[in-house]
Structure 1
């Protein structure tokens, strides 16, 4: 995997978690490719009498395993994106940045979060307890888990970039490019599987064998481009 020199501690933590998830998926896909390449796959296990026996891994089970890869890859995209964006907010907090000094884009995000977090109950508590909102204004109402919720594709990424004011840059030239159509397919299939509108076996039937590795590569390259762009954004303090 391409390496990015990341100086920001919060973004580096997100990048390390991303790498761990990539390693997990690569091990899974290596196993899947072995299944797809074999004509007679079996699982070796001990029976109740402690004798070794072969249990066939049926084509139906292999289809289910193949379809499950969509969930792993989409999880890589969404969780890594949320962690990467969270690095911006953690940086603002750890550096005790004054809200008046941040960019207009970031200021708008903070005020929208504040508006969402200030329900009637919260307002009553602030007034009743005479709470000073200034120390928590930068993060009040913000929850990184609410950033995407099964919605990430390239179109959404472009909106996020515009919203925060950063731009993703592919790593490794042509080898770092990705297909927007593949990213959208990953999102759609993940949602169909997660919501039950498509069974795992049906989904796996539609996936050509030995094809999930290339889909994973596109997802990995997209996130590498995001980390690369956010690395520049944070290093150059473009949030100010």
Structure 2
């Protein structure tokens, strides 16, 4: 379960490691004149690495949410059997996503509404919208009765907030890649990379346990 999510996560991790290794190599140049010429490039690459880390976080978060809907859809779980928070999320999403009864009906494709409305209501582009951090993850996944915790007392996802701010600043142009990257050291990048990887790997594991236990089912309607 979630093999595709894990594979994509690992692929992105490898890409991040490749860029990180390149940054370390540039930063440790023995020839001082070469290193001086590389300072601006290192800053730009550091910002690029931050953006890659954020993209990995958001991609993984999207995939975890999508896997919940896929499981409910594939098992043809009735709307009536879901936990209350999940039901409310579906109805709110339908209200916001469809402007008329006709458009909602077309999305159902003449299927049993109680079995397909969950998948029909999902609009991935509106789930996070470039604003993923630990608080938002807990908030969104909590709607489905999936409790998100940190992998350790020392890692509660605090770095995700700064990463989200960096992503928005870089994506919207309020900070240049060179200027933002100047504030990051190789040590900062190493810690950020490790903590983000540990935290999001933990989110994947929590989602997998959630799906195996079918925790989206309302205990009173699970039978």
**TM-score with structure 1 setting the length:** 0.79
**Does the 8 Å CA contact 1:113/1:140 hold for their aligned counterparts?**
no
How far apart are the structure 1 equivalents of 2:105 and 2:159? 47
Residues 37/124 of structure 1: CA separation in 2 closer, same or farther (3 Å cut) = closer
Q: Count residues in correspondence.
A: 213
Superposition RMSD on alpha carbons, in Å?
Answer: 2.6
Alignment match of 2:139 (pick from 140, 154, 159): 159
Moved over 6 A (4+): none
**Does the 8 Å CA contact 1:193/1:200 hold for their aligned counterparts?**
yes
**Does the 8 Å CA contact 1:83/1:144 hold for their aligned counterparts?**
no
Residues 41/23 of structure 1: CA separation in 2 closer, same or farther (3 Å cut) = farther
How far apart are the structure 2 equivalents of 1:86 and 1:15? 14
Where does residue 117 of structure 2 map in the other structure?
137
SS, match of residue 85 in structure 1: helix
* Structure 1, 18-27 or 69-78: larger mean CA deviation: 18-27
Choose 1 or 2 for highest CA Rg. 1
**Does the 8 Å CA contact 2:98/2:104 hold for their aligned counterparts?**
no
How far apart are the structure 1 equivalents of 2:144 and 2:121? 17
Higher fraction of strand:
1
Alpha-carbon offset, residue 116 of structure 1? 2.2
**TM-score with structure 2 setting the length:** 0.84
5+ residue gaps, structure 2: 218-223
Alignment match of 2:171 (pick from 194, 198, 223): 194
Deviations 1:98-128 (A, max 9, x none): 11111112111222222223213x527849x
